[in-house]
Structures are given as structure tokens and as C-alpha cells.
Structure 1
Amino acid sequence: MSDGINRTKNRRFEDEGSGLGERHVQMLLLFFGLMVAFGMRVNLSVAIVAMTELPEYNWSEKIKSLVLSSFFWGYVITQVPAGILARKFGAKVTIMTGLTVCSLLNVLTPLCAKLGGWKLLFAVRVLEGICQGVLYPSYHTLISAWVPPKERASLGTYAYVGASFGTIVMLASSGVLASMAGWASIFYISGGSGCLWVVAYFQRGASSPTASKSISEEERMFIELEQTNEAGKTEKPAESLPTPWLSFFTSPPFLALIAAHCASTWGFWTLLTQIPNYMKNVLGKDIKANALLSSLPYTVMLLLSFVFVWLSKILQKKDSLSMSFNRKLFNSIGHFTPMVLLIALGYVAPGQDVLAVSLLSLTVGISAAAQLGFMINHIDLSPNFAGVLMGISNGIANVMSIIGPLLVGIIVSDNKDASQWRIVFFIAAGFYLVGNGLFVTFGKASIQSWNNPTANSEYSSTPQLETPEKTSEA
């Protein structure tokens, strides 16, 4: 009887339009969390230019490259453990711990560089990478707990575009800060902003609707019932379920997701770390020296993110289109379009500055569509283990951010040789083609049987079938 009443209230709550609720506040907090996190992630790329103009920091190109890559050395370490810890202790705890330590390290960065030179700075950046490695798995765990299935694509994207916004703000402001208050101010302000966010998140953030003191009873029931309708009930609390590691790595949909994630990361970091070098040496356009041009690709990415969310909401109303179709559609837009534009960029002639910058901005910007594709697909496959799945795929994918630049160094022996750069672009395009091809072929958007190991035949005599995809969800 009570279940029927709850379902009636839930339907009324949904039909009347839930408006802005606590789940939206939580996503806004996550937006600003990624904003400050990415500000701290990219600040060194600008600050190091001002630093190396000083005699005490006159480092070689090899040392600068080593220091700039050090963040990712630590970043890949905590990906998988973060998903496990977020399930055990709550995503709020792991997010706050990671950003608190990272913020303090940013504030201390100028002192560390002064006392220990590039070696201590390298160590600090590795530690910052370790701290930020917890974010994406924890975010997925939290989004899985807070966001109803129909709103995953939109609210998840709103949370994750904080990364683009933080990059824009830092790239656009760092040069001004360095010229007005010295390079150290870049780290003081970005680290201080992180500390302020941690205080705000401590006050309002919550790992789940049941842990929130600010959510209404109606919204809590709405979220919980929507998620129960999708996933069904588990025999144990989600945080105490055994982790089906073997099932993860023998699941074609998840392996296809990993392939798409690797392709996206390879293409994205090839663009953002190597294209400025290409444009300076081949096309004679130094976009790194121009804060506006440096931030333009991220600005286009931010704006197009909202366009794609709007489009997904329109498609969501089409009952004939499944969630799987929508995931694959947006992932194809976010991978195949940059693939074509990236190849075109390799054939732009010197002097065609506007065309080159336009292609670069569109290539980066349109990749935002993939945020509504593979990026949120972990939660589709397994709400219970979304953070662990994100940790696995993000950890593997971010190895690409280390290998990619190294391969470019091997292929491009002459920075001014356009033909060598085209090889780099064709390799990135190949990653997009294969990664999205596997995602379209083998990807799914339905809950997998291993989401509930206690009901799976691997742990019990009663097998659990996959949940049928709901056609009204985008």
C-alpha cells in the first residue's frame, strides 16, 4: 500500500515539474569543484613561462616537459582506489580530502620551488595528481547516487563542464596575474579558491540524498524511486556488495567504453599539448602567447556542451529513441567530427590563421558531445559500481596522456615539417575511428547483470538478466 502511495507521489512530483531541487545544488557544487581543480591543474603551464624567465628557474626544455608531465604520473595512481574508497566512505569524503590537500599544495608551490627547485616542484605536482585522481571516480559515484536516470546526461554534463570553465578562467587570467603580482600569485589564488570551495562543500555537500540535511522529502523519494525502478533492489547495501572484477574485464560493453575513453583522451591531449607547437612552427601562429586564443577552444567546448544538453533533452522526448541510441549518437558526434576536422587541420597552409584557429576550436569544442556518450555510460552499465568503472577506464585512458606526447616526440623530428605532423593527426584520427567504432558496435546503455553480484549466477544460483533499456531516456 505504502509503495503505491509513494509511486503516486513520485509521479505527481515528476509531472508537476520538480524545478530546481537539492540535486541541482549538488551538481552546481561539483561544477565549481572541477572548476577550481582544473584551474590548479593547468596553472603551471602558464606560470612556468614566467618562472623560467628568472635566472633561478632557467630550466632546460627537457626539465620543463618533465615537470609539466609530473601531474599525470600521480593522477593515474589513485583512479581505481578512488572508486573503491568513494563507495566505502562516501564520495564527499574522497572529494574533500583530495581537493583540500591539492589546494594546500598549490598555496605552498612557490615556497617549494624556491627551496627545492624543479625536483621538489616535480614531487609536489605528482602529489597534486594523486589528490586529483580521486575526483572523476568520486564524481561518478556521487552522480549515480543523486541523479535520476532521465537526468544523467544533462546534470552530469553540467557538473563536468566545470573542467572547461576552470581551464578558461585560468588560461585567461594567469598572464594578467603574473604581470601584475608575480607568478607566485597564480598558485596563491588558485589554491586559495580551492580552500574556499572545500569550506562551502563541507557545509552543503552530501554523498547521497539520504545523507543530505537540505533535501525535501518529496525530492528524496522521487530520486530513490526512480533509481529503484531502473536498477531494482539489491540484497545488500550497495557499498557492501562484492566487487565483480572479473565481470568488469570480460564485459564487451565496458571494454568498448574503455576503448572510447582511451580514444577521447588520446585525441584531446594530442590537441591541447601538441597543436600549439604545430601552429607555431608550421603555421607561424603562436597561440600560447595569446591568452584569448589559448582559452578559445575551451570556450567553444563549454558553449557547445550546453547546446548538446539541449539537443539531448529534445531527443529524450522521442519515445522511439532508446538511451543506447542517444549515447552512441552523441559519442559519434564527439569522436567522428573531430576526427575529420583533425585531418583537415593537417592540410591548412601557412598564413591561414583564421581557418587554423577555427578548426582547432571546433575540433576541441565538438568533442564535448562525448560527455553525453561514453562519459556518463559507466552509470548506465552499473549504478552500484560507477565510480570503480570510471576509475578503471580513466586510469587506463590517462596513460594515453603520457604516451601521446612521447610518441609525438619520436615521430616529429623536425617541428617545421608538416608531413611529420600529419602522421600525428592521422594516428589521433585512427584512435577516434577505432574507439568510437567499438563503442557503437558493442556499447550498451542498460544495467548489466554484474551490477548486483549477489543476484548474479557467479554468486548465487539465480541469474539476473540485464535490465531492458528504457526508450524514453537520453
Structure 2
Amino acid sequence: MPHVAYAILKLRTSPSTLFGVRHVQVLLNFFLTFIAYGIRVNLSVGIVAMTTKSSDNPDIPVYDWHDKSILLSSFFWGYIIPQIGAGQLAKKYGPKWFLVSTMGICSLFSVLLPVMADAFDSKGVMISRALQGFCQGFFFPSIHNILSYWVPVTERSRLGTFVYAGGPLGTVVSMIVSGIISASWYGWPLIFYIYGGLGLLWSVAMAIVGSNKPKDSKIISEEERLYIEASLDRSPDAKNLATPWRDILTSRAFWALLIAHCGQNWGFWTLMTEIPSYMSEVMNFQIKSNSYLSALPYFVLWVLSFIFSAIADFLIIRKYASIGTTRKIFNSIGLVVPAIALVFLGFMDEEHHTPAIALLVIAVGMNSAIFSGFNVNHMDIAPNHSGTLMGLTNCVSNIFSLLAPLFVQVVVTNEKDTSQWQTVFCVAAGIYIISDLCFVLCGSGEVQEWNDNGAVASEGKYTVTKEDDGRKTV
């Protein structure tokens, strides 16, 4: 490890090289989402082993829990709380140390989760998951803040997608590893120990190598720093720029982005939390094969995300389509195609294994296009406030992440009843389509005029900036 760290610290690069310091920051944030999603979803597979005997080891505890959907939603109880504040804090103080500390605490409670389950039963798990959710509530607003400083506009789709695609890859690995470990002699507690350890290692790496912005980095070349900063449409005083709350909350572009995010989260987390139960109860797959099949759609999502993002940046760079049009095209691919697949999925049962798996792969895999759609649109419309915008949309949209499993809890009273699953999937499909329609009709890829509005601190005084004939005046 020391020689690797030394090599990174000695890295000097020019924009023309394939790997620069900005890529180091992107890689760090990729591993953040990879581990975070692993922690977030390992309970979806682990809970099957926690409530059903799946290991030959007699010392592995099994619990009689009937509130599984409530347990799975408990992560979001804490997750929605810090979002808006996290965006503001990241903008004012920089996100680095918030990420280091919150990932450390989140990882600690991953290690403690088996202990909490043993001591306090399901309530202990709910407490651990809610605290993990609270910590992870800092992640996305902070990541958006970092990316808005480090990623040039022409690389935004690719590098932004690479970071956020760490989530689906983390989901794939977590589901497979969790299934294998749950069925092994070591049993389900090892899942939480492993991910807790990985998170703690990431916190150390971020503390050593991570930077809030190029000018804070001690390892970046002057050429690469100037290349990045010249390509961005951020104000150099963005951290002191007051948040134009009224303009944001009355902006059509913001509301289109918010509705798209809400619709995405309802559908995505319906599938994320319920696929293992659906595969187990309706398709009658055993826990090990269940984990592989549950992970397959997210592996396809991860692969397709790079294809879609490369095409998106190609369209923008070659000016075949504007940023706004590109975002709408890929957002529609990412929401409408999965909606159609979900409608058909609702009519599958154990006699239709292959079509059901194919539809799951389509529903989840094609959803990857949203990484080049609304998911980076915060940086398009307001780069100075991108972390705050992500905090706002992620806060509200994750209320839908919380409600989706609870909706399943109410609707699916018999997990083997396919008609009840039809309702779940058709509702998710309808929400996908409505949210995409709002984004297509009202969304934008242009920097909004309120991006530079507000009071800017300058040498102890405050000045007011505003837009006049397309040019910023003071």
C-alpha cells in the first residue's frame, strides 16, 4: 500500500493523458458509491438468511421477523433527513471531511449490525439501518459538489456516470457475495463485517488522497488544473454565493428534475428491495441462485451505463444534440423502456422463468440511461448550486424510496400471489412514465439565470450579482 500511495502522490499529468488527478478523484467517488450501495442493499439478500435457515452452522442465529419490508425501508428513515443541509455544508466547507466521517460511522454500524440484531432483535437492525441511512444522506450532495469542481463539461456524462455506476456494480457484487456468504458456514453476519471493513478503509484513502477541488490538490499539475477550471461554468466564489431559494423553488427546470428523480426512486427501489423476495417466493429460486439472478440485472445496468454515457457525450461534443435534448432522450430511454418491461413482468409466474428474468434485466438494465439523463442535470442547470440541488431532489425523492417498500408491504399480503405483484409493477411503470413526461416537457440543459444570483462575499463586503442581457454584471 505505501508504494501505491507514493505513486499516486507523485502523479503529474496533462489533460491529453488518459489518466489524470481528476480521474483519481472520480475513482475515489466511484468506490464510495460501490461500497455505499453494497451496504445499502446487502440486507435485501441478508434478510432472507436472517429469517430462514440457510447455513449449516448451528451458531448462526435465525429470527422470526414479520416486518421485513419495514426493516428494508428503515434505511431511508435516516437517509432523507440530512440531504438539504449536506448540500449546503458541502458548498460552504467542502465535502471531503464530511464524507470521511460519515462513511466511517456508517461502516462502524455495519460491523455492529449483527450485535444490534442479537441484543435488540428487529428494532436493533432498524436503528442501525436508520443511522447508516443518515450518514449516507451526505454522500450524493457531496459527490455532486466534488464532480462540479473536478469534471469538465465535455466529460460530465462519462465521468459522472462512472461514479454513479459504482452503485449498480456495488449492488451486483453485494447481492452475489451476500448470497454466497449467507449459505456458507460463516453465515450472514460476515456480510456486514466485510462491508464495514471496506468502508473504513475507504475513509482512510479519502483522507489521504481526496480533495474538494483542483486548487486544493497538492498532486495536480498546473496544466490540468487550468484545463479543468477553464472548462467549467462555475463562479470562483461559489462557496460564498447565497442560495437563491425562491428562484430554485419557482424554476420549471428544477421541478422537472425533482419529479424525474422521484419517479426513478420509486421504481428503482421497488425492484432493489423486492427482487430477492419476488425471485424466492414467485419464481421459487433458492437463496444462492436467487442472489445471482437478483444481481444479473444490475450487472447489465452497470455495463450499459458506459455505453449510454459515451453516446451522450458524443452527441454533445459533436453538437448533434444540445445538452437539454440529450438529457431528455436518455432519460426517456431510462424510464419508459423499463416501464413497458414492468407491465409485462407482472404477468409472469414460476412457469415463465426465462421471460421473467429477461424482463427484469430489461427493466433494470435500460434504467442505466438515466445516468446521462436527469442524474447529472443538476450540474447542467446550476453548477454553482449542484450539491444543494442534489440534496433537495435526493431528499424528496427518497421519501418515495421509503414509501415504495411500504406500498409493497400493504399490497403484497401473499408473496406467492402474482396478481398482487402485478399491481406493484404496474404502479411503478405508471410512475416512471409520468415522471419522464414531466422531464421531457419542462426540463432544461441550459445554465439557469439564477445560477449566479445572490450575495457574494468579497474582501469582507457583499455584492449582488445578476443577469443582464445574458452577461453577468456586478
* Match of residue 121, structure 1, among 101, 122, 125: 125
| Paired residue type of 1:270 | T
Q: Superposition pairs for residues 266-415 of structure 1, below 5 Å?
A: 266-285=266-285, 290-348=290-348, 350-415=350-415
User: Is 1:254 aligned to 2:254, yes or no?
Assistant: yes
SS in structure 2 at match of 1:440: helix
Deviation at 1:464, TM superposition (A): 4.4
Return the offset for 1:282: 4.4
SS of equivalent to 1:61: coil
Match of 2:78 among 52, 74, 77: 74
Match of 2:98 in 1: 94
Q: Answer yes or no: is 1:211 the counterpart of 2:212.
A: no
CA RMSD of aligned residues (A): 2.4
* Deviation, structure 1 residue 382: 0.8
Structure 1 position 185 matched with structure 2 position 190: yes
Deviations 1:273-326 (A, max 9, x none): 334444544454567752211210111111111111222233234324111111
* Other structure's SS at 2:447 match: coil
Report if the CA contact (8 A) 1:76-1:395 is conserved.
yes
- Matches of 2:455 and 2:113, distance apart in 1: 50
Q: By how many angstroms is 1:22 displaced?
A: 0.6
Alpha-carbon spacing, 1:260–1:174, altered in 2? closer, same or farther (3 Å): same
Give a deviation string over 1:60-117, Cα, whole Å, max 9, x none: 212x333222111101111111101111221111111110111112122222333333
Q: 1:166 to 1:253 in 2, by over 3 A?
A: same
**C-alpha distance in 1, partners of 2:60/2:169?**
33
Specify whether residues 282 and 124 from structure 1 end up closer, same or farther in structure 2 by C-alpha distance, changes over 3 A only: closer
> Per-residue deviation at 1:157?
0.5
1:159 paired residue among 160, 163, 167 = 163
Q: Which runs of 4+ in 1 moved over 6 A?
A: none
Provide the C-alpha distance between the structure 2 equivalents of 1:348 and 1:238, rounded to a whole number of angstroms: 51
Segments of 5+ residues of structure 1 without an aligned counterpart are 1-12, 469-474
Provide closer, same or farther for how the CA distance between residues 191 and 416 of structure 1 changes in structure 2, counting only shifts above 3 A: closer
Q: 1:343 to 1:33 in 2, by over 3 A?
A: same
Instruction: Give 1:268 deviation, angstroms.
Output: 0.8
Query: Structure 1 residues 90 and 59, CA, compared in 2 at 3 Å: closer, same or farther?
Result: same
Q: Which residue of 2 aligns with 1:196?
A: 201
Matched, 1:110 2:109: no
Instruction: Work out the CA distance in 1 between the residues paired with 2:357 and 2:327.
Output: 29
**Aligned to 2:454, what secondary structure does the other structure show?**
helix
Tell me if the contact between 2:260 and 2:435 (Cα under 8 Å) persists in the aligned partners: yes
In terms of mean alpha carbon deviation, does 139-148 or 42-51 score higher?
Answer: 42-51
Q: Give me the whole-angstrom Cα distance separating, in 1, the residues matched to 2:37 and 2:416.
A: 31
TM-superposed deviation, 1:58? 2.1
Contact 1:91 1:138 in 2 (8 A): yes
The code of the aligned residue for 2:316 comes to Q
* Local SS of the residue matching 1:253: helix
Indicate the SS of the match to 1:181. coil
- Does the 8 Å CA contact 2:160/2:376 hold for their aligned counterparts? yes
Is 2:89 aligned against 1:85?
yes
Measure the CA separation in 2 of the matches of 1:461 and 1:211. Answer: 26
CA displacement, residues 33-78 of structure 1 (integer Å, 9 cap, x when unaligned): 111111211222333333334796523212x333222111101111
How far is 1:19 from its partner?
A: 2.7
Quote the Cα distance in structure 2 between the aligned partners of 1:455 and 1:108.
Answer: 45
Does the CA-based 8 Å contact 1:448-1:466 persist in structure 2? no
Structure 1 window deviating more from structure 2 (370-379 vs 117-126): it is: 117-126
CA distance in 1, matches of 2:411, 2:124: 31
**Contact 1:335 1:432 (C-alpha < 8 Å) held by counterparts:** yes
For the Cα contact (< 8 Å) 2:279–2:294, is it kept in 1? no
Corresponding residue for residue 56 of structure 2:
none
User: After alignment, is 40-49 or 24-33 more displaced?
Assistant: 40-49
Distance 2:267 2:219 in 1: 41
Whether the aligned pair in 2 keeps the contact of 1:324 and 1:445 (CA below 8 Å) is: yes
| Kept after mapping to 2: 8 A contact 1:51/1:183 | yes
CA contact (8 A) 1:449 1:465 kept: no
Which one is further off, 341-350 or 188-197? 341-350
SS of the equivalent of 1:290 reads helix
Name the CA distance, whole Å, in 1 between partners of 2:185 and 2:319: 56
Asked if the contact 1:446–1:467 (Cα under 8 Å) also holds between the matched residues in 2, the reply is no
Deviations 1:218-249 (A, max 9, x none): 0001111111xx35x56xx2111111111111
User: How far does residue 423 in structure 1 lie from its aligned partner after superposition?
Assistant: 2.8
Aligned to 1:8: none
CA contact (8 A) 2:241 2:455 kept: no
Identity among equivalent positions (%) equals 43
Task: Sort the Cα spacing of 1:279 and 1:26 in 2 relative to 1 into closer, same or farther, 3 A.
Answer: same
Name the amino acid aligned to 1:347. F
Q: Is the 8 A contact 2:276 2:291 kept in 1?
A: no
**TM-score, normalised relative to structure 2:** 0.88
Aligned counterparts, 1:55-74, within 5 A = 57-62=62-67, 64-74=68-78
Task: Identify if the C-alpha distance between structure 1 residues 94 and 439 changes in structure 2 by more than 3 Å, giving closer, same or farther.
Answer: same
Partners of 2:114 and 2:218 in 1: CA distance: 39
Rounded Cα–Cα distance in structure 2 between residues aligned with 1:225 and 1:391: 26
CA distance in 1, matches of 2:40, 2:124: 17
- State the Cα distance separating 1:461 from its structure 2 match: 8.4
Aligned to 1:441: 441
Residue aligning to 1:425? 425
CA distance, structure 1, for counterparts of residue 159 and residue 254 of structure 2 = 22
Q: For residue 425 of structure 1, report the CA deviation from its aligned partner.
A: 2.2
Structure 1 residue 198, shift from structure 2 partner: 1.2
Post-superposition CA distance 1:134-159 (Å, at most 9, x none): 00000000000111111111100011
Partner letter of residue 312 of structure 2? S
Distance (whole Å) between structure 1 residues aligned to residue 143 and residue 166 of structure 2: 12
The residue that corresponds to 2:24 in the other structure is: 25
Distance 1:208 1:55, change over 3 A: closer
The answer to whether the 8 Å contact 1:446/1:466 transfers is no
Of the structure 1 ranges 413-422 and 205-214, higher mean CA displacement relative to structure 2 is found in 413-422
2:141 corresponds to 1:137: yes
**1:49 pairs with 2:53:** no
